[in-house]
Amino acid sequence: VHFTPLPNRQLHGLWQSLIFDSNIKQKLIYYAQTLDCFSMFKLASELEITSPWCINFNRIILLYGPSGTGKTSLCKSLCQQISIRMQNKIFKSHESSSECGYSRFRLIEIPCHSMVSKWFGQSSMIISKYFECIENELKNSRESTYIFILFDEIESLLNSRESSVNNNDPSDVIRIVNTIIIRLDRLNNLVNTLNYSKKKTEVKKKCNFIVLATSNLITLIDSAFLDRADFTQYIGPPGIESIYSILLNCLNELLKYKILTYDGIS
């Protein structure tokens, strides 16, 4: 598991450099703001409320589309952007700035390709160990810590169980999907006990994390995971206007560092 502290200098400027035809970046920010708003008003986080399932969300973002369209970069830059806004307390929530109180941010990258083993039953054990690492990080983290969990090319693990049965795939494939779905549900239901005094104890869900996933082939992903994703967005190849903006930015950078000159362009 790769841990990256946020904000990170290596991700500086990545958010601004990504250009898409739609307002996908603003939609992602709105989604994160909504989660922050729900957390601020303790919606679906207090376990003792009358109707805990009235407003339910899984804190999962899924970006899918062809390879090379910027899905992974968008996920990482989103984490960077959220961490900057929360750290500076300019993350707008409801009608005023949210007093989120987060001061420490971490990005956990899960290498999906390294979870698959040729040995029967070994993959499920590897996946369980990865999730135990994530759960321990959440349990041991302070309330001021916010964690982003990134699964890149998640279709390599979450193959549709129905297709696996029809294709007579090994039962280990189904076991892998079952393990991930159960672990994601367990992650979403992870609780935190706060002792304010000897007489008062508050029990609430952990709400200081977001799960991000990318996929090149969404049709291969099991429907159980697709149902759990709160935000699903297609990221396609850039259109004409986006291509023009990307090339213009590249030329401006070359001119800025005098690699190209206006005389050379003309």
CA distance 177 to 173: 7
CA distance 35 to 208: 10
Tell me the helix, strand and coil percentages in the chain, rounded to 5. 45, 20, 35
Query: Tokens standing for 255?
Result: 């001119």
| Nearest one of 191, 233, 227 to 208, comparing CA atoms | 191
| Nearest one of 245, 239, 232 to 71, comparing CA atoms | 232
Reported pTM: 0.85
pLDDT at 91 over 60: no
Contact 108, 208 (CB under 8 A): no
Please write the tens of the pLDDT for every residue from 144-168.
789 999 999 999 899 888 887 777 6
Q: Which residue in the block uniquely carries the two structure tokens 């239901």? A: 189
Measured CA distances, 66 to 37, 71, 89, 222, 238 (Å):
32, 9, 35, 18, 11
pLDDT at 93 over 90: no
Q: What confidence category does residue 7 fall into, taking pLDDT thresholds of 50, 70 and 90?
A: very high
CA atoms within a 13 Å half-sphere pointing along the CA-CB vector of 88:
9
CA distance 56 to 112: 27
